[in-house]
Amino acid sequence: MPPRNDDPFENFLRRFEPRRPRALPAMQHPPRRRSRLLLAIAALILIGLALSLRQGAGPAQLRSAGTSRQERALPAVTLGELNEIFRRHPERFDAQLTEASHRLLPDVEEPGGLLHVLAGE
């Protein structure tokens, strides 16, 4: 490897002088009253959301669209029942899942169904 002549570059670097950096600008904190107000508003929103979810409240469109499907749905199969079928009768497991899916999953082609409401159609 041939020796490099770094003298011009070193001379260029010597022209710079180190300087002390300036101080960072002082941070301004919001007044305590404002942050307390924002915290109280956030708490009220969370409480209202929790109460509405607890009572099953939601948009009326979603409830009405899902009602027709829920009213005609048969009792759901449990995971324990599916596990037993899988262990004892594996040949019936696929048929049981297919039957359960017809009862539990929304019909994507049902006009005015839940998926159409969610899609905004």
Give the domain extent around 95. 47-121
Looking at the structure of the chain, the number of domains it has is 1
pLDDT digits (tens, 9 = 90+) for 11-46: 898 888 888 888 888 877 656 677 788 888 888 888
Flag whether 61 is in a domain: yes
Confirm whether 30 is domain-assigned: no
Q: Is 18 part of a structural domain of the chain?
A: no
**Is the pLDDT reported for residue 85 higher than 60?**
yes
Report how far apart the first and last C-alpha atoms of the chain are (Å, whole number): 72
pLDDT surpasses 60 at 67: no
Structure tokens at 49: 């959301």
| Residue % of the chain over a pLDDT of 90 | 0
* Res 65 pLDDT > 60: no
**Calpha distance 93→83 (Å, rounded):** 9
Residue 82 lies in a domain: yes
**Residue 67 counted as domain residue:** yes
Q: Which of 22-36, 54-68, 78-92 has the lowest mean pLDDT?
A: 54-68
User: At 61, is the pLDDT very low, low, confident or very high (cuts 50, 70, 90)?
Assistant: very low
Q: Tell me the one-letter amino acid at 87.
A: R
Q: Please give the angle made by the CA atoms of 67, 58 and 64, to the nearest 5 degrees.
A: 25
DSSP for the chain, please give it: -PPP--HHHHHHHHT----PPPPPPPPPPPPHHHHHHHHHHHHHHHHHHHHHHHTT---HHHHHHHHHHHHHPPPPPPHHHHHHHHHH-HHHHHHHHHHHHHHHS--TTSTT-HHHHHHT-
